[in-house]
Amino acid sequence: MERYPPWKWPTVMRIFAAKHLDETVRSKSTSGGVFVALCEYVLGLGGVVYGARFDQAMRVVHDRAVSMDECARFSGSKYVQSDMGSCYRLVREDMQAGRRVLFSGTPCQVAGLRSFLELSRTVGNLLTVDLVCHGVPSPMIWAAHVGFIQAAERSSLLDYRFRDKSAGWHRSRHVAVMDRGAISNHRVDAFREVFNFNYALRPSCHVCPFARLDRVADITLGDYWGVGQHFPDFDDNRGVSLVILHSEDGSAAFDAIRDHFSLIELSVEQCLQQPLQAPTPPSPQRAAFWRAYRQGGYEAAIRRFTSYGLIRRIARGLRRAIREFMS
């Protein structure tokens, strides 16, 4: 078998903006619901799906699914580096058994799988999907956030939605699902700021060779953030997927599910986003954030570098003013 050369990048064949016609599917998806349809397609062929989910300890791990109920755990963005475990080996075993495999992950995880398998692009029973990736934060910081939320709320964390769309796709928020209900507050939101401000992305993310339009995957999925500029009538604030097809296998798979979507074909100029052009730059305060974390822990770091600290100061000032007024 021919190894896929890292310098031999595939071409971009077609690009689409996509919205699933089933609003229930789209409401549960981060953007337009394309991944759900791909899962249904591959499972319908007797195949298996690999993706990222939370385990019981709220770590993000890669896992194998053979039903849509199991695939449901993969839905929704997870802004953490996943633990691959034995998934690469299991993918190889499934392929050797002749099963169709859908593997989804970050661009580097897809490249790692292809390197592990020593396979060229022309593989009939492997379909790979990567993400328009901003970068992945340290799992250590995510574990610290989980512990912080559980201690502050005096409740166990059961699930976490990094992109809850209940207030609209453009105003998606972090929601922590505790054993006594779902919450979204300044404590939960601190991780969103840590991620968005690039305080704790892995150092390798800032020099990522896959932050470009051409990828090693068959299909690239992401949010189509340019929809409001280019096609405002297509934007209903409920999520639109960006679909970039890189290979004949990817195009064939998408053609098999395209009847489930409202689609607009895009030009390259209409789809470009920062992660499709260059790696995410580090925050100028990255080193200071990590110093604060190592010296005082997670809460000390977010108190200094996110609005969590400002809101706490405002709340303390209001409580002090109320006590003085009442005395």
Q: Are residues 189 and 219 in the same domain?
A: no
Residue 126: CATH number of its domain: 3.40.640
Q: Are residues 88 and 227 in the same domain?
A: yes
Q: 5 in a domain, yes or no?
A: no
Within 8 A by CB and 6+ apart from 265, the residues are 14, 15, 16
Number of domains in the chain: 2
Q: Are residues 125 and 20 in the same domain?
A: yes
Q: Are residues 186 and 37 in the same domain?
A: no
- pLDDT for position 241: 96
Q: 8 in a domain, yes or no?
A: no
Q: Are residues 85 and 213 in the same domain?
A: yes
Q: Are residues 319 and 184 in the same domain?
A: yes
Q: For residue 326, what are its two tokens?
A: 């009442």
H or E segment and range at residue 175: strand 173-178
Residue 276 exposure: Cα atoms within 13 Å on the Cβ side: 23
Q: Are residues 211 and 159 in the same domain?
A: no
Q: Are residues 35 and 158 in the same domain?
A: no
Range of the domain at 241: 14-130+202-276
Q: Are residues 174 and 36 in the same domain?
A: no
> Is there a contact between 219 and 242 (Cβ–Cβ < 8 Å)?
no
Per-residue pLDDT of the chain (327 residues; tens, 9 = 90+): 344 444 344 567 899 999 999 999 999 899 999 999 999 999 999 999 999 999 999 999 999 999 999 999 998 889 998 999 999 999 999 999 999 999 999 999 999 998 898 765 546 699 999 999 999 998 999 999 999 999 999 999 999 999 999 889 998 899 999 998 999 998 999 999 999 999 999 999 999 999 998 888 999 999 999 899 999 999 999 999 999 999 999 999 999 999 999 999 999 999 989 999 999 999 999 999 999 999 999 999 999 999 887 755 564 555 555 655 566
